[in-house]
Structure 1
Amino acid sequence: MRRPWFAVGLAALCAAVAVPAHAWALTSDATAQRTSTTAARPVVDMEATVLAAQIDPRRADNTLTPGAKSSVLAVEQALQAKNLLDAQWVDGYFGTLTVSAYAAYQRSLGYTGLAANGLPGTTSLTKLGLNRYTVTNTIGPGTKVTRDGFVVNARTQAMLAETQRLLDYTLVLEQGSYNPGGDPTSAGTHDGGGVVDIAVTGMTAAKRTAVARALRQVGFAAWVRDPSQGDWPWHIHAAAINDTDLSSQAQNQVGDYYLGMNGLANHGPDDGPRIPIKTWEQYQRAQ
């Protein structure tokens, strides 16, 4: 009986390269197994993971951030494998203990300051997932630039530029980012990236609200601040959601914003224009 053409082809190929047919089959099986193993690795959505790290620690319960559970679980399992997080906290909830564990992991890599703030960065998240998971939807603050005499990062600058386009109005900063201790009344929110204060001189109440709404539209947690709330003049305070350089205080403000609060120490209700909340990346994809 004649052998099928593919059997003859395989035998001829093996003979040509001096490899026994059974060895070829074993090699093919091993390659297929490695491919299957790689394909089966969890996928960590960095956008969702960073968002959960801002919101979850501010919750009064253990509600999970929508769309983040599987990604957070994969990160927590990796932290547990490094003995940085107890098994009981591997639950898909990026709470304060997970933030602390991730910050400890960042420090183990030699990071300090903002680079060890407990918010996953692309490099640390990828290293943590080596041979465990793959990372998608990576985000980052970009390089530092100067605007109105203040330092901001490229991501914040792009968000402000888009806000101006929507408003057809030029915004002027009265405080920038990366300003540790520069303004004690800011309670540390400007110590890292992603946070700015916008001057409102000459703006009507309606214009202030319109600016806050546009800032929120592109992915800022933004509020109009007035002197009755603290030791400051009228201004608009804005924190860029999912900026991985956010100080701990600014992370808390973003989490409070998602939970309907005003971002102040009194945890009052949000007094700004309510619109569907989006990150900068979500806003860009929707255009």
Structure 2
Amino acid sequence: MRRPLLAAGLAALCVAVGVPAHAWASTSGTAATPAVVNMEATVLAAQIDPRRADHTLTPGAKDSVLAVEQALEALNLLDPQWVDGYFGTTTVAAYAAYQSSLGYSGLAANGLPGATSLTKLGQSRFTVTNKIGPGAQVQRDGYVVDARAQAMLTAAERLLGYALTLEQGSYNPGGDPTSAGTHDGGGVVDISVTGMTAAKRTAVARALRKVGFAAWVRDPSQGDWPWHIHAAAINDTDLSSQAQHQIGDYYLGLNGLANRGPDDGPQVPIHTWEQYQRGQ
């Protein structure tokens, strides 16, 4: 799901949008002024862009993604035709290869830029702002979650005025096979709805969405599972590839299931945890 962009066209585009053409420094010999990469926007694009049927760029991410792609090209990890501000599957694969070159593996080489790898990539090329990360792994209701997801759950509970109970946590590879790998990484939880009315289930999903989760009420007609609420934290850099796809689908108005049906959850403005904290 990429579109080719000729090298000459890219150079002109970089000038037009005011992004330093770092990728051309090796051939031109000219010094480039370091760019600024917004990590929040870049990670978001890496979740949404691969799920698009077209090549629309993620708003606010173009300049940051271009700078990252130019750095990957300079390392011979990304062909110039893909240096276009679109963080699609080819760029995700190139970034994963870069992470692997640093000695990372597993979730640390999932193709989502992490703060450490992104900072290393940007040396002499760009500075990184709006850094984000999952934080330490902690226990909740007998399950493992990361600190960022825990903070998000606590914020949702404050909105609701009551506690939530997990029935599946994160970092659970080989767990419930019906989860299709979404819980293999961080940022993803299933919440018990035992004793909840339909209205209360919807209220919980709405609160989770408000604080930055892609959240849906799941019912037995959709799969081989009982009623529950599935929630994936947007921009959690420990997300498994399957959970990354759910986030992208959520932004595109889909239900996060394999059938890619329309979103059936409560409609709220979509934003990340960091945006919620800033009051955006």
* Match of residue 116 from structure 1: 109
Q: Displacement of 1:39 after TM fit?
A: 9.9
In the alignment, structure 1 residue 175 sits paired with structure 2 residue 183 = no
Q: Which of 35, 59, 64 lines up with 1:66 in the alignment? A: 59
Q: Residues 1-287 of structure 1 correspond to what in structure 2 (within 5 A)?
A: 40-286=33-279
Larger radius of gyration: 1
* Match of residue 13 from structure 1: none
Provide, for residues 182-219 of structure 1, a one-character-per-residue CA deviation record: whole Å limited to 9, x for no partner: 11000000000000000000100000000000000000
Aligned residues between the structures: 251
Amino acid at match of 1:54: Q
Separation in structure 1 between the aligned mates of residue 82 and residue 114 of structure 2, nearest angstrom: 21
Amino acid at match of 1:121: G
Structure 2 gap ranges (5+): 1-29
TM, length-normalised to structure 2: 0.88
Q: Displacement of 1:104 after TM fit?
A: 0.1
**2:85 partner SS:** coil
TM, length-normalised to structure 1: 0.86
**Structure 1's 38 and 204: CA in aligned 2 closer, same or farther, altered over 3 A?**
farther
Q: Displacement of 1:243 after TM fit?
A: 0.1
Percent identity over paired residues:
83
Provide, for residues 162-201 of structure 1, a one-character-per-residue CA deviation record: whole Å limited to 9, x for no partner: 0000000110000000000111000000000000000000
* Match of residue 14 from structure 2: none
Provide, for residues 255-283 of structure 1, a one-character-per-residue CA deviation record: whole Å limited to 9, x for no partner: 00000000000000000001110100000
| 8 Å Cα contact 2:218/2:229 also seen in 1 | yes
**1:164 partner SS:** helix
Q: Displacement of 1:147 after TM fit?
A: 0.2
**1:286 partner SS:** coil
Separation in structure 2 between the aligned mates of residue 52 and residue 181 of structure 1, nearest angstrom: 28
Q: Displacement of 1:41 after TM fit?
A: 1.4
